């Protein structure tokens, strides 16, 4: 007998930062997430999250009606109903963020109803997923980034990521010095990823890549703007450094276009942006067909379950705290640990996370 969805609640624990960090193209003025709680008629509940973009109103006015009343296990039907509804008003952007959060919550419910962790529902068995540490925004001085990089390698991380793109991408010599300083600090055995957040044009990215090749860079992430797929493909064709992108792409269709253009070696789609877990399963399979690795952007609490089950998973992104636990604030009470550079999946139904409803209730949308 089906268990139908009764309601969707939205929480917005979002705060304005006093000293916002920044990368090459964006200032992170807000801290926090949009959290959804999907509740079924039997009382089962699942939680999903996405960024603090203005998605709450879209969920309330457009998506909720397509979800309430449907079988909680029918994730494909629910996804298709939501995607059809946003066809003319938001096939990318806030609409997909709202869809993603709801879909994640539904997969959480699926696991709880069936009594299995999500990674087990997908056929995964591995609970220790390799992770890399995102070390420093451009707002963090080079010396401090190098110190943090050493600290995280001592915590067991085998790969680190740092931001580049000084002066809006116009000072690649400063970028080179930043990367060189980190490489000298951590030695030759640690992987180093650089992330430009799409700030360069293709010609500039190619010049920087040529300068950095002797430093053995693991990935060059988003060297060009997310919509400049042709430029991204040019960069990839002109460097030996593997090229990564996709965190700002949406659905299997956007990821297909990246791979048809031969623009990426590693796909970095974001489960809370690209369409949720239902869509990320398709994206992972599509990437496998193109022999492309998958290294999801952020949100290890969800992405780790996917990487447990797919053969082309590379590693997760985490933002460590001094204790080595991924960021999450007060929202999640049992944040999984990172041990010697491996993210430990909880062996509990759904995503295995305990959300603090008492805390979230203060921020009900």
- Residue 350 included in any domain: no
pLDDT in tens, 120-164: 999 999 999 999 999 989 999 999 999 999 999 999 999 999 999
Token duo for residue 171 = 């000072």
Q: Are residues 109 and 166 in the same domain?
A: no
**In terms of residues, how long is the chain?**
365
265-278 residues labelled b (16+ CB within 10 A) or e (exposed): bbbbbbbbbbbbbb
Q: Does residue 167 sit in helix, strand or coil?
A: helix
pLDDT at 197: 98
pLDDT reading at 328 higher than 70: no
Question: What domain range includes position 37?
Answer: 5-115+357-363
pLDDT at 184: 98
Averaged pLDDT for residues 340-362: 97
Quickly count helices (H) and strands (E) in the chain: 14, 15
- Residue 352 included in any domain: no
CA dihedral 299, 303, 308, 314 (to 10 degrees): -80
Q: Are residues 299 and 165 in the same domain?
A: yes
Q: CB burial class (10 A; 0-12, 13-18, 19+) of residue 125?
A: exposed
Q: Are residues 171 and 35 in the same domain?
A: no
pLDDT reading at 322 higher than 70: no
pLDDT at 359: 95
Q: Are residues 187 and 272 in the same domain?
A: yes
pLDDT band at 89 (very low <50, low <70, confident <90, very high): confident
Q: Are residues 223 and 275 in the same domain?
A: yes
pLDDT at 3: 95
Rounded to whole angstroms, the Cα distance separating 33 from 272 reads 11
- Give the DSSP letter of residue 335: P
> Could you give the percent of the chain with pLDDT greater than 90?
93
pLDDT in tens, 157-194: 999 999 999 999 999 999 999 999 999 999 999 999 99
- Residue 320, domain CATH: 3.20.20.120
- Residue 351 included in any domain: no
pTM: 0.96
Averaged pLDDT for residues 302-310: 98
Q: Are residues 139 and 98 in the same domain?
A: no
Q: Are residues 159 and 252 in the same domain?
A: yes
- Residue 273 included in any domain: yes
pLDDT at 324: 45
Q: Are residues 111 and 165 in the same domain?
A: no
CA distances from 49 to 9, 127, 333 (A): 12, 22, 15
Write out the H or E segment, with its range, that includes residue 56.
helix 56-58
Q: Are residues 99 and 126 in the same domain?
A: no
Q: How many domains in the chain?
A: 2
Indicate if 297 belongs to the active site. Answer: yes
CA distances from 353 to 253, 328, 346 (A): 30, 11, 8
- The single residue of 124, 297, 315, 341 carrying the catalytic annotation is 297
Q: Are residues 186 and 265 in the same domain?
A: yes
pLDDT at 87: 87
């Amino acid at each position: 007998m089906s268990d139908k969805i009764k309601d969707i609640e939205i929480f917005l624990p979002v705060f304005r930062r006093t000293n916002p960090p920044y990368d090459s193209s964006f200032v992170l003025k807000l801290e926090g997430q949009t959290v959804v709680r999907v509740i079924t008629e039997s009382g089962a509940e699942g939680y999903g999250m996405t960024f603090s973009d203005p998605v709450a109103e879209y969920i309330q006015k457009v998506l909720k009606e397509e979800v309430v009343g449907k079988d909680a296990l029918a994730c494909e039907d629910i996804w298709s109903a939501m995607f059809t509804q946003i066809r003319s008003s938001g096939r990318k952007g806030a609409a997909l963020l709202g869809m993603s959060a709801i879909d994640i919550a539904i997969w959480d419910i699926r696991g709880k109803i069936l009594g299995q962790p999500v990674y087990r529902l997908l056929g995964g068995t591995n609970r220790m997923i390799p992770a890399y540490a995102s070390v420093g925004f451009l707002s963090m001085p080079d010396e401090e980034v190098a110190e943090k990089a050493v600290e995280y390698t001592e915590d067991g991380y085998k790969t680190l990521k740092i931001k580049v793109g000084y002066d809006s991408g116009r000072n690649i010599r400063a970028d080179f010095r930043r990367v060189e300083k980190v490489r000298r600090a951590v030695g030759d055995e640690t992987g180093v990823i650089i992330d430009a957040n799409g700030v360069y044009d293709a010609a500039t990215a190619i010049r920087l890549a040529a300068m950095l090749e002797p430093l053995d860079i693991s990935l060059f992430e988003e060297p060009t703007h997310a919509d400049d797929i042709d430029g991204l493909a040019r960069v990839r064709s002109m460097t030996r450094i593997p090229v990564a992108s996709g965190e700002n792409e949406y659905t299997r269709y956007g990821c297909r276009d990246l791979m048809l253009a031969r623009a990426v070696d590693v796909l970095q789609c974001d489960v809370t942006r690209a369409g949720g877990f239902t869509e990320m399963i398709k994206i992972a399979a599509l990437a496998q067909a193109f022999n492309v690795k998958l290294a999801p952007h952020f949100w290890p609490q969800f992405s780790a379950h996917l990487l447990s089950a797919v053969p082309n998973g590379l590693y997760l992104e985490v933002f460590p705290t001094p204790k080595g636990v991924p960021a999450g604030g007060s929202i999640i009470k049992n944040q999984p640990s990172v041990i010697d550079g491996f993210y430990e999946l909880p062996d509990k139904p759904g995503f295995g996370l305990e959300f603090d409803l008492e805390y979230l209730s203060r921020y009900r949308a």
